[in-house]
Structure 1
Amino acid sequence: MKKLLYDVLVEHLLFMETNGDLGSNANLRNANLRNADLSNANLRNADLSNANLRNANLRNADLSNANLCNADLCNADLNNINLHNAHLSNAYLRNTNLINAYLINANLSNVDLRNADLSNANLSNAHLRNADLCNANLHNAHLINAHLRDANLSDADLRNANLRNADLSDVDLSNADLRGIKLDGAILTNTKF
């Protein structure tokens, strides 16, 4: 499996470096990458939909514009990952390390982020509608202009989080730690505190 994965990564890197003239875009749809070491990998634009990435190491990886819909990333290490414009709708990210993650404009609709560590993550303009962030750590996270309608943030750590101009309509913030939170311009229609 390691040799096959290595070959896919090499072909993908060649594809990205030659603007598609050589190599091939990584298609890892439905792949079993449980416990895989993909640290520092370049998987921009790759298809990892429905992939099993449980306990995988994706530290410092670039998955910008990647498709991770319905992927299982529970307990994975995504520290300092680039997921700019990535599609993660319906993904499982429970207990995942997303410290310093770059998730600007990412689609995280209906995602399970329970107990995830998103401290210092940048989720500006991210789409988190119906996301479950119960007991998540969002300490110092940036959620400027984020779309959180109907999300569950109960028991979350939002200390010093920046939610300026975010849509928090129908969001559950019960028992969340809101010390130092920035809510200037946020939409708080039917928000539960």
Structure 2
Amino acid sequence: MPVTTLDPKTALVVIDLQGGIVAAPTVPIPAAEVVARTAALAAAFRAHDLPVVLVRVSTAPDGADAVTGRIDGGPRPPRPRPEGWDELAEAITGPGDIVVTKRNWGAFHGTDLDTQLRRRGVTQIVLTGIATSIGVESTARAAHEHNYHVTLATDAMTDLDVDTHRNTIEKIFPRLGETGTTDEIIELLAKTHG
């Protein structure tokens, strides 16, 4: 369903726009465009005194706190991460932003994201980030289960695989919330919060 409204207490939640992830080859949208569109959304949210939450994924250098479990192909050994891998993209950061560090795909499990949002009276989130079918989708599902209204900025997210990106955008997101472009969301933000 196309984006129709933004609640008075809406937060922007940005998923994994950090050094090691924005450096990966992404499709169908280059990571640099996702960062630029997210930066525009973050500036608009800050201009209306609405929360901006920057979520990053990180693990201990030895991978001791990485998620384990049985998956096809067997467990993956911890990979060494290059310096700056988990540092947020500078273009999206601003004073007063909330930073949440996660260890899982989704931003709710094992973090204080829900507490941070509820303390501020947030009832709706707008999501951006990488990867559409992993961190963004997992967070959108959990937000829906936590009874937040969910809006997805579909031109401010991308993936490592075009088919999984498309499936999430076309099949999953319409069941979880409303979708719109960065420009549509910024225009609606100006109308409802201006």
TM-score by length of 1: 0.25
Which protein has the larger Cα radius of gyration, Structure 1 or Structure 2?
1
More helix by percentage: 2
More strand by percentage: 2
